[in-house]
Amino acid sequence: PEGWTDLDTKAVDTIRVLAADAVQKVGNGHPGTAISLAPVAYLLFQKVMRHNPAEPHWPGRDRFVLSCGHSSISLYLQLFMGGWGLELEDIEALRTWGSKTPGHPEYGHTDGVEITTGPLGQGIANAVGMAMAARRERGLLDPDAPEGESIFDHQIYCLASDGDIEEGISSEASSLAATQRLGNLTLIYDRNFISIEGHTDIALTEDTAARYAAYGWHVTTVDWLEGGEYRENVKALLDAMDEGRKVTDRPTFIQLRTIIAWPSPTKQNTEGAHGSALGTDEVAALKKVLGFDPDKTFDVDPAVLEHTRGLRDRGAAAQAAWQQGFDTWAETNAEGKALYERMVDDELTPGWEEALPTWDADPKGVATRAASGAVLTALAPRLPELWGGSADLASSNNTTPKGEPSFLPTDRQSEEFKGGPYGRVLHFGIREHAMGAILNGIKVHGGTRPYGGTFLTFSDYMRGAVRLSALMRVPVTYVWTHDSIGLGEDGPTHQPIEHVSSLRLIPGLDVVRPADANETAASWAAILKNKDRPAGLILSRQNLPIVPRGTDGYATTEGVARGAYVLKDFGTADPDKTVIIVATGSEVQLAVGAAEALAGEGVAVRVVSMPCREWFDEQDDAYRESVIPAAVKARVSVEAGVSGSWRDIVGDAGRIVSINHYGASADGALLFKEFGFTTETVAAAARESL
């Protein structure tokens, strides 16, 4: 293409050779696509994207997602060549302990890596989330600027492989991307016909370009094997990208035919180049083909590096120009500027907590999902950065703040959901896995605070994305309602049994199951204050009594943020006749009921409400001892799910009231009785434990 020099060509070839060297050195990795995609990544990083290596967090930058995370060396080499801070020694340390260049790109670990990828398909959905976040950000800060003329306009680029295309999560996200008319998104699909099991004909024969056209994407095919001879027609690819950016009412899909590992002489076009080192002979042969000295490793011509590091100047200039635009904008947008700064710092509006609703004691009560809906409605005016929606269960998950507009292209509005491109209520369709990954993409894009809801049982469908929220430590909130057999008639496929316990096992995920409406508000408050971790908010379908607060011996909700607290001590204290009942969510009422019964028998009962075990685990020993004294061995846990790791809490002498089998289709209240969740069974367990 215009302006492409011999130094660019040499830089691309240097990248191929470095990729081969790096994988060869550690002895394992994925050299094939790094070699053949070198010109693609180089074109993006050096010629197409607006970014500044010196300031990787500049909010005005374009974003890049390497959905095929196994090709991490592709990304690292661009960060090295462009000057993000990676040096040759980092490339040499690929995939080794403590390096900046781990096997898959890790968010927060290496400057310039926008998001953790590796589990295939996630990256495409992440990119969709970023594109949505960019539009929401623009809508919050600069909605009236003409198209393409706002400083908040930027582009999202995603590079994907066959595996990304095969995974269902990418199908979900891609369909939604077209519905959402994400004109700021470009997806480049590296169609090389090789995956780990060899030629993809055995498992992938669809016309993917036609599939994306069917979703409603703008689709271009670039065939580097056109006419039978392989030619890396970089200009054709650049033209496709330029054309795609001009299409602003649809995302752009570029299907690029490549030959994996080209021009590696004997391993190109084979799965042998996908996930293994090429071998020293082949690396040497590759170097010969490209005119490099086969005896040298990690050899970079200083002229090449000087050329590519020129990106630092170009990037600084781009940011300076942007800053000028920003300053001009800020002059007439004081309120917007304040919001912008708050968003960049991930700081909530001061005083936002005052808006939280409270509920009076009420034996009939409300469902915690309804309480959560009230919280979202109350917070919406104060926290414009808080947005989210549901996977087609809005009215069940109570994820829609009342009166707020939907995030929808004008022509996609419905009678039920009005809105516009800058709205805040998200409609994911019945696509839980994409929802999770989109939330991750939104959050790492920066600026806003997203949440998404579905039935708890379908957390199974999105677990791959939830794990990545936790691994990346991004504060995404999952709203999982209908949290037990209390769901009722829809039966065992829809009744979570093992889910609360199994989500607790994901390192870094806070699992929060409030006991009543006021605990729900306090849970949301605690979750929103955390900036470095995701949470799953586990909510009831059925009404739960609202506990009196700060009266009659009942605690306030202050202890919620500590994960567990003494809700109330019942009966007179006799150390030999004291039992602690620990409960979560809808079962706290059973603990209270059992305590009242036992107190009448002269037993002292402490009821501990434990909305979040992770938060409780982080308290100091003194607090934990004050809630659950080591000396009291008689303990009962109650949770309408599997016993999981409750033995950790109740100890050898304790009893666990749980359900370790599937539910049934019937009225929820009846199921609680049939499956042994009653005050009687809890009281009986307490007596046994004493």
How far apart CA 125 and CA 442 sit, in angstroms, is 10
200 binding its own copies? (CB under 8 A): yes
How far apart CA 424 and CA 371 sit, in angstroms, is 20
The DSSP output letter for 348 is P
Helix/strand/coil for 66: strand
501 binding its own copies? (CB under 8 A): yes
Name residue 538's beta-bridge partners.
Answer: 480
Which among 160, 157, 216 is positioned nearest to 191, based on CA atoms?
160
For its own copies, the binding residues in 138-167 under the rule CB under 8 A are: 162-163, 166-167
The DSSP output letter for 666 is S
The nearer residue to its own copies, 244 or 654, going by C-beta atoms, is 654
* Member of 48, 130, 141, 468 binding its own copies (CB under 8 A): 468
The answer to whether 479 and 452 are in contact (CB under 8 A) is yes
Q: At its nearest, how many Å lie between its own copies and the CB of residue 395? A: 7
Q: At its nearest, how many Å lie between its own copies and the CB of residue 468? A: 7
How far apart CA 252 and CA 512 sit, in angstroms, is 39
Name residue 120's beta-bridge partners.
Answer: none
The answer to whether 559 and 565 are in contact (CB under 8 A) is yes
Q: Which range touches its own copies (CB under 8 A), out of 301-309, 317-325, 461-469, 527-535? A: 461-469
For its own copies, the binding residues in 175-194 under the rule CB under 8 A are: 175-176, 178-179
57 binding its own copies? (CB under 8 A): no
The nearer residue to its own copies, 60 or 103, going by C-beta atoms, is 103
Which among 461, 393, 465, 468 is positioned nearest to 425, based on CA atoms?
393
The nearer residue to its own copies, 103 or 139, going by C-beta atoms, is 103
Residues 289, 291, 293, 298: is their CA dihedral positive or negative? negative
For its own copies, the binding residues in 98-117 under the rule CB under 8 A are: 98-99, 102-104, 106, 116-117
| Binding flags for its own copies, 556-595, as an x/- string (CB under 8 A) | ----------------------------------------
Name residue 425's beta-bridge partners.
Answer: 388, 406
Q: Which range touches its own copies (CB under 8 A), out of 42-50, 95-103, 513-521, 679-687? A: 95-103
Helix/strand/coil for 580: strand
The secondary structure of the chain in percent helix, strand, coil, rounded to multiples of 5, reads 45, 15, 40
The nearer residue to its own copies, 328 or 645, going by C-beta atoms, is 645
Q: Which range touches its own copies (CB under 8 A), out of 220-228, 410-418, 478-486, 570-578? A: 410-418
How far apart CA 277 and CA 73 sit, in angstroms, is 13
For its own copies, the binding residues in 375-404 under the rule CB under 8 A are: 390, 392-396
* Member of 1, 108, 143, 198 binding its own copies (CB under 8 A): 198
How crowded is residue 368: how many other Cβ atoms within 10 Å of its Cβ?
31
* Member of 118, 129, 453, 585 binding its own copies (CB under 8 A): 118
Strands (E), 127-259: 156-160, 185-191, 194-195, 198-199, 218-223, 252-257
Residue with tokens 């700060």: 550
The nearer residue to its own copies, 6 or 206, going by C-beta atoms, is 206
| Binding flags for its own copies, 624-653, as an x/- string (CB under 8 A) | ------------------xxxx-xx--xx-
For its own copies, the binding residues in 659-688 under the rule CB under 8 A are: 660-662, 664-667, 670-671, 674
Q: Which of 167, 232, 282, 432 is catalytic?
A: 432
The nearer residue to its own copies, 26 or 88, going by C-beta atoms, is 26
* Member of 40, 41, 49, 120 binding its own copies (CB under 8 A): 120
* Member of 87, 207, 226, 341 binding its own copies (CB under 8 A): 207
The nearer residue to its own copies, 1 or 279, going by C-beta atoms, is 279
The nearer residue to its own copies, 597 or 656, going by C-beta atoms, is 656
* Member of 314, 463, 533, 687 binding its own copies (CB under 8 A): 463
What is the total count of residues that contact its own copies (CB under 8 A)?
Answer: 117
Q: At its nearest, how many Å lie between its own copies and the CB of residue 511? A: 12
Give Cβ neighbours of residue 209 (< 8 Å, ≥ 6 apart). 219, 221, 253, 255
432 is catalytic: yes
Q: Which range touches its own copies (CB under 8 A), out of 118-126, 228-236, 301-309, 593-601? A: 118-126
For its own copies, the binding residues in 508-567 under the rule CB under 8 A are: 508
Name residue 427's beta-bridge partners.
Answer: 390
As to burial, measured by CB atoms within 10 angstroms (0-12 exposed, 13-18 middle, 19+ buried), residue 517 is: buried
Exposure class string for 434-448: b at 16+ Cβ within 10 A, else e: bbbbbbbbbbbbbbb
As to burial, measured by CB atoms within 10 angstroms (0-12 exposed, 13-18 middle, 19+ buried), residue 561 is: middle
* Member of 50, 342, 412, 624 binding its own copies (CB under 8 A): 412
The DSSP output letter for 228 is G
For its own copies, the binding residues in 230-289 under the rule CB under 8 A are: 271
∠ CA 43-35-465, rounded to 5°: 80
Active-site positions? 432
